[in-house]
Chains A and B, each alone.
Chain A
């Protein structure tokens, strides 16, 4: 093989590699579509005692069951709901907890257009992070809102939870 052919082959190989990198999901692309993120359950008294938020990566059925029961809390007088199904081959679950607050008026919600924004190996997810307005009267019961989500697996090993102002509220890492 002469040198010129080698150079062309290398250049072609490089071009091909670059093109494939550009088209591989998870590399500075959005995992778009409603199916990439969906809400399983929301809760108001999810039991977190710390005031700081947290996000928990769930990729095992037993973890999911534990988290789901935690969201349900001790409710009496009703049949416990079924544990939701998550296909852990292709999906994970994510429990986001807002932290304990002294009153009602706090909530977490998944915006309708929510999606995972994946850059390198980190996913970004923006949630509606609601706190009460100042100068309103609030019910004096402590609350610990949370959201249990279903996410499609992808080329990410951590998820950064943002509020709608772009502030990082929590980070969850695979296996933690």
Chain B
């Protein structure tokens, strides 16, 4: 057996040579269990008969695979399931492929003229099971999902009974154990669909909108497609609204308009909605007026979206308010939304009891956007060398104001920029000005250590000691020490003396954060690389490492540092970090704002977020922060999963950070060990008897398992390969059906650990509704591996869930090889393996293997089913559509 690595190209050849296959499609042949005669082998030049063989095997329907009993394929067996009394019995669990269409929509076939709007299914379900419908061709069909009690009644007050969304997935959660009817209904158009029950958590499309979402009942936001409007229609809001039977409320023609569903509206969409609703009124009018109005809103949106003169129709969502600053230049501070700061401000904007020490060039104490932001001690200037200080105040002094670090009018005012990022005054009401800061409610402790040409290690350490409330050369212990120290400075050399000093400051409870350096190297950079200091690398607007930023093993976290060489958002300004500065180029110092880049700018983002965390959790310790970083609780993971040398543990996430700090303040364990199980639920169907369960610590710290119990005598859990101390590892879970009456059985496995408790739902079935496999009418194709041509085709219905195929007179001479594919064609578009249709290949769809000379010719068994979970019946169906394979048309369409 040769594995043909060109299988993908072969598949594409199959798809792309549709025109060639059209020739083959004219070949006749029987249906049922027959096959088409293979081409006669040619004589070779020697006169010997080339080798021909018979290929045979069995296609088995995938486990729990079912097919809708009334599909558009004329060769498939047919049993109507259009009414509750005709409901098709299906097993649980199940993955069922179906097809629905409005009359005169979709491919030609037996359902085209009459349509098939409803498919009803009868099934036993357990409480909390999900029932999900994924619409394969969402651009052509809009389906809804309903469940009914076994007697056909529906609880219209319960949102679990009706799913009438406008997305490609509809899902409902079963309220209690029992027998139910499920209806999949074609609101409009046509499509294949997949109905999934009891297969674990459904993967929900992000394009989902249901009545339980938060939107204003009765209001719709509409944008017309102006190019599609008839010329006779006046482009006035009221007129346009009337064309769709709604009432104009706000907006204007040529842009989005707010409209209202009103009984007084004229004909058009409203009329259609009313007719639509009337046909379903007995079943789908909710006694809850608001719910009914929301359902009507969704139905109106569904109808509007079918019109080609409507560009979009959306509900008027109710949004929760976010704290958005009104400061003049906030809109240019792209770096704040990047770290989710606005949502963090909903929690806190900082407490005046929190102090952040900015150890830097000093701060412009009179900058208008920093007024009122300084700690009561006023800070200190620790620069000893007057040539560095340039402040006309010999030696160290109490004046932390930044006089500028240049004698020629090109001072940096670096410390002012850093301080502004942390705590510039920020207005959330009217009348804001300047820029926003991350934690405007906290206080800045300005400590001057950098001047003309940089700063010395000794001066910096004195500032660190002052900030930590330790004895220092100023002779002053501040009345309140700093909670956070920011060090947007450094160099390549480190020393034990400095490490000891930082260790002592951290021991005093101060959280220390420093810039990782701007040399684009992985060498350690100090003080960021010292133990106990949070090292911050820099990001650009795209969350990529900034081109100058250091990286490497000492990086702990990443934050925006900017890239002034670009303007990715096209706002006309370089993509630097915008904050407060001074400008002395004109001789005096002007208080202005500038875009700068560097890990200097990244570090205060982390410092500001730490200040917010301290504001909600006053006892937050440096160890707490380290644990939260390492466990990923306060970052957005970037780059390789987990920690990496580019981004450390990830990009700081301000909202996650304040939430984590809040949780800690309320007593949760910062170490956060968590029991994690796989799989999260178990479904034994009606035949499986045992499976493996993995129990691990999915968090940080240590935990052990205290007990594992089951809630049913037919369910047992036995340790397999587990750790002797923690009891973590692999277990075997078994079910015993002996003595149980036919039916659905549910139970739980409860795992109690020293940290948390986890419950695993288990379902099994005893007996059932006959075989739980019916993969529908299968087309089994023999495909030339080189040309992609269909050489032969077998088709038929299952015998005991199996399809025994035979291909005679198959030539394997001259290196010929073949793939075998199988699948259904529910929508009768001439392709098998469309989204929502079963599909399989020998040996498997994931790794098809070509059959060639020298290999097995019989026992070519494989599975045809829905090969992957719901999520692979993808949003657009695009992934599965690429897999679609044209089959031979063996009969004329009636």
Contacts and interface: CB of A to CB of B under 8 A. Distances in A.
Interface of A: 39, 41-45, 47, 49, 71-78, 81, 102-105, 107, 109-110, 130, 132-133, 135-143, 145
Interface centre among B414, B457, B488, B516 (most CB of A within 10 A): B414
A114 B151 CA distance: 101
Interface centre among A71, A102, A110, A137, by most chain B C-beta atoms within 10 angstroms, is: A137
A167 to B, nearest CB: 20
Given A45-B594, A49-B565, A75-B592, A140 B408 contact: no
A78 B408 contact: no
Give the interface centre of B410, B574, B596 by most chain A CB atoms within 10 Å: B410
B595 interface: yes
A44 B410 contact: yes
A47 B597 CA distance: 11
Given A77-B592, A137-B456, A143 B434 contact: no
B778 interface: no
Contact of A141 (B406, B434, B592, B598): B598
Contact of A77 (B411, B591, B600): B591
A109 B361 contact: no
Interface of B: 329, 332, 360-361, 405-412, 414, 417, 434, 449-450, 453-457, 460, 488-491, 493, 515-520, 548, 564-565, 573-574, 578, 583, 585-586, 590-601, 603
Contacts of B597: 141-142
A104 to B, nearest CB: 5
Nearest to B433: A77
Contact of A42 (B329, B361, B408, B449): B408
A107 B406 contact: yes
B594 A76 contact: yes
Nearest to B590: A78
Contacts of B595: 73-74
7 contacts: A42-B406, A42-B408, A110-B408, A137-B449, A138-B450, A138-B490, A139-B412
Given A77-B592, A139-B360, A141-B600, A42 B565 contact: no
A132 B454 contact: yes
Count chain B CB atoms within 10 A of each CB in A71, A102, A103 and give the residue with the most: A103
Nearest to B577: A141
Contacts of B332: 76
Contact of A104 (B405, B407, B434, B585): B405
B490 A136 contact: no
A39 B406 CA distance: 15
Contacts of A76: 329, 332, 578, 592-594
Contacts of B599: 140
A140 B453 contact: no
A136 to B, nearest CB: 4
Given A102-B519, A104-B405, 20 more contacts: A39-B408, A42-B410, A49-B565, A71-B585, A78-B590, A102-B520, A103-B598, A104-B450, A105-B453, A107-B410, A136-B456, A137-B449, A137-B454, A137-B455, A139-B414, A139-B488, A139-B489, A140-B488, A140-B518, A141-B600
B592 A78 contact: yes
A75 B594 CA distance: 5
A138 B489 contact: yes
A145 B453 CA distance: 13
B515 A42 contact: no
Contacts of B489: 137-140
A39 B601 CA distance: 31
B453 A132 contact: yes
A142 B583 contact: no
A76 B405 CA distance: 21
A77 B454 CA distance: 27
Given A81-B586, A140-B490, A104 B454 contact: yes
B594 A136 contact: no
A103 B518 contact: yes
A139 B593 contact: no
Given A43-B585, A44-B410, A76-B592, A140 B517 contact: yes
A19 to B, nearest CB: 42
B364 to A, nearest CB: 13
A142 B601 CA distance: 10
Nearest to B360: A139
Nearest to B574: A74
Contacts of A47: 564
Contact of B491 (A71, A78, A109, A136): A136
Given A44-B412, A107-B406, A142-B518, A135 B590 contact: no
From A49, A74, A139, residue with most partner B Cβ within 10 Å: A139
Nearest to B516: A140
Contacts of B455: 136-138
A102 B518 contact: yes
A141 B490 CA distance: 11
Q: What are the 5 tightest A-B residue pairs by CB atom distance, in nearest-first order? A: A136-B454, A102-B518, A141-B598, A140-B600, A140-B515
Nearest to B546: A142
A130 B583 contact: no
A133 B387 CA distance: 13
A42 B585 contact: yes
A75 B454 contact: no
Contacts of B454: 103-105, 132-133, 136-139
Nearest to B409: A42
Contacts of A45: 564, 594, 596
B412 A141 contact: yes
Contact of B601 (A74, A132, A141): A141
A147 B548 CA distance: 24
Nearest to B369: A77
Q: Which of A47, A72, A77 has the most CB of B within 10 A?
A: A77
Contacts of A44: 406, 410-412
A150 B773 CA distance: 89
B412 A145 contact: no
Nearest to A82: B586
A133 B360 contact: no
Most chain A CB inside 10 Å of its own CB: which residue of B409, B594, B601: B594
Contact of A145 (B410, B417, B594): B410
Nearest to A133: B453
A137 B460 contact: yes
Contacts of B361: 139
Contacts of B491: 135-138
Contacts of B594: 45, 73-76
B451 to A, nearest CB: 10
A81 B588 CA distance: 12
A139 B603 CA distance: 12
Contacts of A42: 406, 408-410, 585
Contacts of B405: 104
Nearest to A144: B564
A110 B490 CA distance: 29
Given A137-B491, A139-B488, A43 B586 contact: no
A49 B668 CA distance: 48
Most B Cβ at <10 Å: residue of A41, A104, A109: A104
A136 B600 contact: no
Contacts of B593: 75-77
A135 B493 contact: yes
B598 A140 contact: yes
Contacts of B586: 81
Nearest to A71: B585
Most buried by B among A42, A138, A141: A141
Contacts of B407: 109
B100 to A, nearest CB: 58
Given A130-B453, A137-B450, A140-B598, A104 B414 contact: yes
A142 B526 CA distance: 17
Contacts of A78: 583, 590, 592
Nearest to B493: A135
Contact of B450 (A43, A75, A139, A143): A139
Given A130-B453, A139-B360, A104 B583 contact: no
A110 to B, nearest CB: 8
A89 B453 CA distance: 39
